[in-house]
Structure 1
Amino acid sequence: MDKLVELQSRVQLLEYHQKLLLKMLAAPNLDFYRLVIEKGISEQEVQAFNEICEDLNKKMEKQKAEGFIHFHPLFIEFLNSLPAELDAKEVVQSCLRQHLYETLFLEFNKCLND
């Protein structure tokens, strides 16, 4: 039974990656999707990543409104939430190239360079 569950999981991962590949055919600059496929990240992990980015983006906007100019605590929160297979620098750069959460990742890019 375990092998069947594992097989179903692998098929779901392949189907998800196939959907991403089809999107990449139309727009080859989707670097974050490429990274997801290369690292074998699941759809659930990407959904969790998007939820975290949404949350961090809201926190950053609130902090900016309060006059904050440094966002290292948010960056640390981001680092702690990344799947182990992903490298923070690769994620930040690929998201910037794909224009995902641009404001957030521009700030995180500064944290990488500090």
Structure 2
Amino acid sequence: MNEHKLLWQRIQLLEYHQKLLVKLLHNPKQEFYKLVIENSITEQETEKFLALCDELSMKFEEQKAEGYVYFHPLFERLLASLPANLKMEEVIKACLLQNLYEPLFHEFEKYL
């Protein structure tokens, strides 16, 4: 039974990566999607990461409007939530190249 479950998970991962590859055919500059594929990140992991980025981006804008200038706690929160096989430096670079959460990742780039 475990073999079937493992096989099913691998098929789902391949289907997800295939969808991303189709997107890459239309726009090869989507570096974050390349990173997801290269590191075998699942759709659930990607969705969780993007949801956290949405949340952190909103907090960043709120804190910035309130006059905050120190955003390292947000950086640390994202770092702690990254899938194990992703490196923060690669994620920041890929997201900036793909224009994802630009203000947030420009700020996080300072903490590398």
Q: After TM superposition, is the score higher than 0.5?
A: yes
Gaps of 5+ in 1: none
1:73 corresponds to 2:73: yes
Cα drift, residue 111 of structure 1: 1.3
1:33 corresponds to 2:26: no
Partner-residue secondary structure (3-state), 2:86:
coil
Partner of 2:42: 42
Cα distance in 1 for residues equivalent to 2:70 and 2:97: 23
Aligned-residue sequence identity (percent) comes to 54
Deviation by residue 1:55-100 (Cα, 9 ceiling, x = unmatched): 1011111100110112111100110010101000000000000000
Partner of 1:24: 24
Structure 1: 4+ residue segments shifted above 2 A: none
1:106 counterpart letter in structure 2: H
Aligned residues: 112
Partner of 1:12: 12
Cα distance in 1 for residues equivalent to 2:99 and 2:110: 16
CA RMSD of aligned residues (A): 0.5
TM-score, normalised by the number of residues in structure 2: 0.98
Cα distance in 2 for residues equivalent to 1:96 and 1:89: 11
Partner-residue secondary structure (3-state), 2:10:
helix
Deviation by residue 1:14-43 (Cα, 9 ceiling, x = unmatched): 000000000000100010000000000000
TM-score, normalised by the number of residues in structure 1: 0.97
1:92 corresponds to 2:108: no
